[in-house]
Structure 1
Amino acid sequence: MAKAAKKVAKKRPAKKPARKMSYYFTVKDSVKVVQDRSGPKADKRVKYLTDTLVKHLHAFIKEARPSMNEWMYGINFLTRTGHLSTDWRQEFILLSDTLGVSMLVESLNHSKMSGETESTVLGPFYIANAPHYPNGANICLDGKGAPVWVHGRVLDSKRRPIPGAKLDVWQANEDGFYDVQQKGVQPDMNLRGVFESDDKGRYYFRSAYPKFYPIPYDGSVGDMLKALDRNPNRPAHLHFIVSAPGYETVTTHIFTPDCPWLKDDAVFGVKESLIADFKDVNDAKKAAELGMPNPFKSVEWNFVLSKEKK
């Protein structure tokens, strides 16, 4: 009996020593002190994200050693960024975009394995509930800019058509402004629209050739760009959000190939696979068929969606 008891005792796993808590703040133990304050009922994901943020933020402070004046400037900078954010101007999105964080998060969450359309940043000027149009409609309400015929198909990873896909489209006008930036100047919902692919996956609409434009740089983000001697311009592009039941939604752009800012996008949104081929068309018969003035520009762009992850 005694021998059996000894054998059982040997099989019991050794107790882990109790984790020593850190209560008092020191520079050396700063991360541990803050992380140890979370309670036993803390949400695991929130705790992981917060602990990771604290670890890297404290590492930044210890490496950069900002003065109290510099730290207060940073706090005031973020406060001003919040005050500048409105329903149509999201200064925090601009800050995330110009630091490359938006593109990093987007890229990590939407890696493409089978040639699906690559994603890019949403940008600060998206508005939900744009008007729905039939294919072939004209979204350029102010009549400015070179006319462009935009068309293509929405396909799955095996290049089969996806009927009934929704394409939410928006862009800046000839002067480099979105409608929400020029209330009373541009018509409301200018250069915005929602289209649906037909039974062969096709979509098509009329618009204006996009122009490059500066992001708003009269606020906190602009001050940062000026201090860093950085360009505030975004290369010319059309925005798209393409979605269909059973497929991953893609938020993306298509860029014009002749824009001088393709390699110096203020928000790092350009991917080489998203640079489109806009063709010049001078064909009166074709223009009449499409309801376009002659001459005009034309771009064909196919969107390839990946199956929704289960």
Structure 2
Amino acid sequence: MSNNEAIKAVAKEVIEIESSAISHLKSLIDDEFSSAVEYIFNSNGRVIITGIGKSAIIATKIVATLNSTGTPAVFMHAADAIHGDLGTIQKEDVVICISKSGNTPEIKVLVPLLKNGTNKLIAITSNRDSILGQQSDFVLNAYVEKEACPNNLAPTTSTTAQLVIGDALAICLLNLRGFTSKDFAKYHPGGALGKKLYLRVRDISSANMKPQVNSGADVREVIVEISEKMLGATAVIEEGRIVGVVTDGDIRRMLNRYDNINGLTAGDIMSKNPKSINADAMAVDAMEIMEKNSISQLLVEEDGEYAGVIHLHDLIKEGII
């Protein structure tokens, strides 16, 4: 077997081992899992998540997911906890400890210290019979038969299982909270994802020039307006309201259709009933309309009157596309 084929075979085997383990987790979701979710949901404190080694790395990701979906969470490294960071835990907090074996030296030291307080302890572990499993108030079973590592040593399948259990926990809490896309946007204001959730049409169109002519405008005036405003189109307006649009494409079609353009007006060459969008709509909705209709710009309306133009290039610049 060539190196190329051998590499692909190993990769496929890893994916098969891990996917089988994840699929098996479904059978481990029980009433205890539900009770743990409900306890966190009804608590008045934060979720403190701790672990050691690779489990600590998984813990930081679960903390990030909980925070972004409406459940306040804090990471506390298990080794640091026994050297002063136990002060992170407040009276009403819930503690989640992640450990595959549940019997690592740091966990053995930490668990009794956690149990000295009044905080509930939730375990995410593959070993219910471990010290962690026996001492926890709730056990979220993350059992895996074997690691993807051929020596069954490097944490691979087990950390994937821990991550999936954490995701399941976070999404269950999200559903109980009725957490919506608007709530999500509050915690994700940056980047393309945040912009899709909060950026509105007016936020973009207000920065553009506002090309417009009346229906009786000479075609040369129309061409100048399109050229100067640099948006590839101009609205045709009567009494503040949109009656049509003239685009670069309309100008090209006019030149193909007429040998003499003298006397032509905006009303003669405009497209009637153009696509438009309300200024208060989400920018991502503007993108969907443009894609669906294969157009590059949309006229913007506010309170029934013409308010400007939003262009496909604006959405690309903002990272919406």
- TM-score normalised by the chain length of structure 2: 0.20
Bigger Rg over Cα: 2
- TM-score normalised by the chain length of structure 1: 0.20
Higher RCO (C-alpha under 8 Å, 6+ residues apart)? 1
Structure number with higher helix proportion? 2
